Structure 1
Amino acid sequence: MSDRPTLATLAADLAAGRTTARKLVDACLAKIADKAGEGARVFIHVDADGAIAAAEAMDRLRKANAAPSPFAGIPVSIKDLFDIKGQVSRAGSRALDDRPPAANDAPVVARLRRAGFVVIGRTNMTEFAYSGLGINPHYGTPKNPWRRDDGHVPGGSSSGAAVSVTDGMAHGALGTDTGGSCRIPAAYCGIVGYKPTARRIPLDGGIPLSVTLDSYGPIARSVGCCAVMDAVLANEAIVPVAPRPAKGLRLVVPTTVMLDGLDSAVADAFERALDRLAGAGALIERMAVPEFAEIASLNVGGGFSAAESWAWHRALIAKKAELYDPRVISRIRRGESLSAADYVDLLAMRRAIIAGFERRVAPYDALVAPTVAMTPPVIADLAGDAAYTRANMLSLRNCALINTVDGCAISLPCHRDGEAPVGLMLAAAGGSDRTIFEIAAGIEPIVRT
């Protein structure tokens, strides 16, 4: 079995008897427990007993030809933001240590369990999901698999989710994406992350950052893996993705904002990917998207994330402000000064931006852009607030635009082996999820060289 197996490969191995769910879980638990690895920083809680019991149950069901899906018994990780029955949801914070255990699974967790996936543990994250870097002062910061000894950031906020997959501690991960929190760590760690159309997947049972912009999605090793998990999360039939040929695809590169200030490694990998797509017959056009420039005015004062997170956190902050990460609480507190009228204005402005964006991109199959404008910085270099803020804003910038326009998007690696990890993002208007998966499946082998 490959050391980076896809869900399809694992399902085939399970069906053929080449492995068992118990063996898969034991292998993941061994990776998590390895003192030389990142397990202690990747996971906030590991449910070894529960995972073993679930794996053994799936093995018995498969032996009786009653497995709930071909993927039954495959271990996945869950971001610490989601409710899991009997466990405390802390969202990477110490301020929720005394929260009662969840009475029920979040719907997305319940759906993964119904498909037979084994929940192996709760992954570390940026506190309350409020950063694109993945740094957590309470539980430590998982190190990026790229040049690990140098200690690069994993990307956030779903930091532990991504590293759990790269390091074989899980074979898929449930994350969230409010401004890129699935796609950014996927891009920084060299794997695949998906942000669905938000309305497709229920947000119940998760601690919110911004109810307007939040979405829940998968991080995994391939486009096909993400498509499987997305279908389960959306309570849709798991149907194999038919790759769409690159020839004849109409792809548009937004020249507004998304190409500004790219690191040279990002620019080089992105342009090389475009050249390969063009060589495969894709029709690529560069076009201004003025709606992306207008989004900056939405974020003056913190935008939706500040306004909506302040509404959720204000009572907790009044009691436990000293327990928050200072870099997180300062961003939440920006929402305190936004009035109800300001919030109503934000809603109206966003509706207009979405309408303009959807008209503009309607002639194209998808947008294509770098997922993140920079390569993952070194954790130690971000000790100062100025360096942290710059890296955080650049990490979030491109992805957050898609959340604001209510779109769907995927990040897939486009760098060469040994190079700094770079993600290529495909995006489209909301409701285009199947199209994005088909295009991504078709170009996946083309853009990775």
Structure 2
Amino acid sequence: MLPDILTTRHLLRTGQTHPQAEIERAINAAQSASCQHVFLHRMFGEARAVASTPDIREKPLAGLAVSVKDLFDVAGQTTSAGSVALRDAPPAERDSVAIDRLRRAGAAFIGRTNMVEFAFSGVGINPHFGTPANACASDVPRIPGGSSSGAAISVATGAAFVGLGSDTGGSIRIPAALNGIVGFKNTARLVPTDGALPLSTTLDTVCALTRSVQDAIFVHELLAQRCVTRSPAPLSAYRLGVPSTLMLDGLDPTVSRAWQRTLTTLRKAGARIDELALSEINELQQIQATGGFSAAESYAWHHHLLERKSQVYDPRVAARIQRGATMSACDYIELQGARNRWIKRMDAAMQGFDAFLSPTVPMVAPPIADVAPGPERDDAFFRVNALLLRNTSVINMLDGCAVSLPCHAPDELPVGLMVWAGAMDDDPVLNIALQIEHLLQKQ
């Protein structure tokens, strides 16, 4: 198991390692075969310079490696969002808010990571720059999950302690689940999105992938500039719900086995877990029938660029963006109202529970070859994409928060457990996830 930030900071304080050594370990990992197609732009020189700064170890991130999803502005660099359509865009004039906050905390940015073009898919395929292979699969190359694909692989392989990314429908939690790491999607309003290229201005969330839940808390505090309220309450003090509607449908055998085993472990430890229908989840399909926020809001950003450069877009991405062209202003306003009313119904149905548990995704990572670029595989691609986004996107529409943490056995492909709740319940979700992680690691 790779050491996390808090463990490494202790080693730094006690003189058992130093920032330069940690950066060299990260760079070695970034140059390994496991990181093929992970970095679109390497920043090794800058990272080494930060790690060599006097007193860097006194800063929160202590010069440790952080990777940057390619949709965040870094001063002097072009933000291409995993696309060749923006290859000739001017460099950013200033850092995005997230980059600025991490930089001031002592982050050593090791490189810009590959991603799904314009963040519009949960699979992780990129036809322009190649697709990073799943970090945990040894049989065949498997998908990394998306859209924060390279960010996840950078963390899972040891090339970064933190993968800065975004989550609009699951783009942090899906790759976290498929690569056996931790992904925290905070309530969207807690971290500014300024300087991040948008997919959906309504749903976009700036957040990160990490090696542990305690690191997720640590990084969230830096990004949100707030302190998470820690609770000493035992797991048995919380009432946890398991929604049976949709989120448990069609689990593949590995996910089903890990899910049932995890619930048994939690119940034996005293967790109070009750199943409920939460049938309001089924309303989302009708609410989003006209295309949803991502289609409308991405089309508003892309339509001029599509007029000039549609031929260089990933056809699968372009097709999803183009759905927004047919949504009327009336449709969009009605979508906003329908979402707000749905959130109120969900909040009422969720009363009495502190958080909810679900599989993050219903499947393990399929082979890249099954969904690789090509019209003959489009049906398979869109089927897999819909399954990967099915559970996670519920939380984005809810304006909620969620942690995905590993719950698989060592001989299984990675499976994620999602702990989630509504808006601004981030602290209970994180406290519960921290206890679950500790319990599962003892197994």
1:192 maps to 182
Q: Distance in 1 between matches of 2:354 and 2:364?
A: 27
Q: In the alignment, which of 9, 13, 17 is matched to residue 11 of structure 1?
A: 9
CA contact (8 A) 1:227 1:241 kept: no
1:146 maps to 136
2:423 maps to 430
Q: Distance in 2 between matches of 1:170 and 1:68?
A: 17
Q: Distance in 2 between matches of 1:32 and 1:150?
A: 21
Query: Any stretches of 5+ residues in structure 1 without a counterpart?
Result: none
Q: Please list the CA deviations of residues 357-392 of structure 1 after superposition, one character each: whole Å capped at 9, or x if unmatched.
A: 112112101010000011111010114111111100
CA contact (8 A) 1:91 1:127 kept: yes
Structure 1 pair 310/15, CA: closer, same or farther in 2 (3 Å)?
same
Give 1:163 shift. Answer: 0.5
Residue identity over aligned pairs, in percent, reads: 46
Give 1:253 shift. Answer: 0.4
CA contact (8 A) 1:91 1:128 kept: yes
Q: Distance in 2 between matches of 1:50 and 1:415?
A: 37
Q: Given residue 248 of structure 1, which amino acid in structure 2 is its aligned partner?
A: A
SS in 1 for 2:207: strand
Structure 1 pair 380/88, CA: closer, same or farther in 2 (3 Å)?
same
Q: Please list the CA deviations of residues 134-174 of structure 1 after superposition, one character each: whole Å capped at 9, or x if unmatched.
A: 11111111111222350110110000001001111111111
Are 2:39 and 1:39 equivalent residues in the alignment? no
2:278 maps to 289
CA-atom RMSD in angstroms? 1.3
2:408 maps to 415
Are 2:358 and 1:358 equivalent residues in the alignment? no
Question: Mean alpha-carbon deviation: is it higher for 11-20 or for 325-334?
Answer: 11-20
Q: Distance in 2 between matches of 1:128 and 1:47?
A: 22
Q: Given residue 61 of structure 1, which amino acid in structure 2 is its aligned partner?
A: D
1:217 maps to 207
Give 1:446 shift. Answer: 2.4
Question: Mean alpha-carbon deviation: is it higher for 313-322 or for 11-20?
Answer: 11-20
Q: Distance in 1 between matches of 2:63 and 2:43?
A: 15
Are 2:25 and 1:27 equivalent residues in the alignment? yes
2:158 maps to 168
Give 1:290 shift. Answer: 2.2
TM-score by length of 2: 0.96
Q: In the alignment, which of 67, 72, 91 is matched to residue 81 of structure 2?
A: 91
Q: In the alignment, which of 52, 55, 73 is matched to residue 61 of structure 1?
A: 55
Q: Please list the CA deviations of residues 1-42 of structure 1 after superposition, one character each: whole Å capped at 9, or x if unmatched.
A: xx60111111111111211111111111122223xx133411
SS in 2 for 1:38: helix
Give 1:447 shift. Answer: 3.5
Give 1:243 shift. Answer: 5.7
Give 1:241 shift. Answer: 4.4
CA contact (8 A) 1:254 1:287 kept: yes
Q: Distance in 2 between matches of 1:208 and 1:326?
A: 19
1:379 maps to 368
Are 2:388 and 1:395 equivalent residues in the alignment? yes
Question: Mean alpha-carbon deviation: is it higher for 225-234 or for 40-49?
Answer: 40-49
Q: Given residue 39 of structure 1, which amino acid in structure 2 is its aligned partner?
A: C
CA contact (8 A) 1:175 1:182 kept: yes
Q: Please list the CA deviations of residues 221-241 of structure 1 after superposition, one character each: whole Å capped at 9, or x if unmatched.
A: 11001111111000124x684
SS in 2 for 1:108: helix
Q: Please list the CA deviations of residues 242-264 of structure 1 after superposition, one character each: whole Å capped at 9, or x if unmatched.
A: 56422232110011111111112
SS in 1 for 2:184: strand
SS in 2 for 1:150: coil
CA contact (8 A) 2:168 2:199 kept: yes
TM-score by length of 1: 0.95
CA contact (8 A) 1:254 1:289 kept: yes
Structure 1 pair 149/94, CA: closer, same or farther in 2 (3 Å)?
farther
Q: Distance in 2 between matches of 1:358 and 1:317?
A: 39
1:325 maps to 314
Q: Given residue 28 of structure 2, which amino acid in structure 1 is its aligned partner?
A: A
Q: Distance in 2 between matches of 1:339 and 1:200?
A: 30
Aligned length: 438
1:136 maps to 126
Q: Distance in 2 between matches of 1:30 and 1:439?
A: 35
1:51 maps to 47
Question: How does 1:247-326 map onto structure 2 within 5 Å?
Answer: 247-326=236-315
1:370 maps to 359
SS in 1 for 2:235: coil
Question: Mean alpha-carbon deviation: is it higher for 438-447 or for 72-81?
Answer: 438-447
Q: Given residue 50 of structure 1, which amino acid in structure 2 is its aligned partner?
A: E
Q: Please list the CA deviations of residues 76-114 of structure 1 after superposition, one character each: whole Å capped at 9, or x if unmatched.
A: 101001001111111100000001111111001110111
Q: Distance in 2 between matches of 1:244 and 1:329?
A: 48
Q: Distance in 2 between matches of 1:62 and 1:420?
A: 37
1:444 maps to 437
Question: Mean alpha-carbon deviation: is it higher for 338-347 or for 353-362?
Answer: 353-362
Q: In the alignment, which of 98, 117, 121 is matched to residue 108 of structure 1?
A: 98
Are 2:243 and 1:245 equivalent residues in the alignment? no
Q: In the alignment, which of 324, 331, 334 is matched to residue 342 of structure 1?
A: 331
Structure 1 pair 76/295, CA: closer, same or farther in 2 (3 Å)?
same
CA contact (8 A) 1:243 1:440 kept: no
Give 1:403 shift. Answer: 0.3
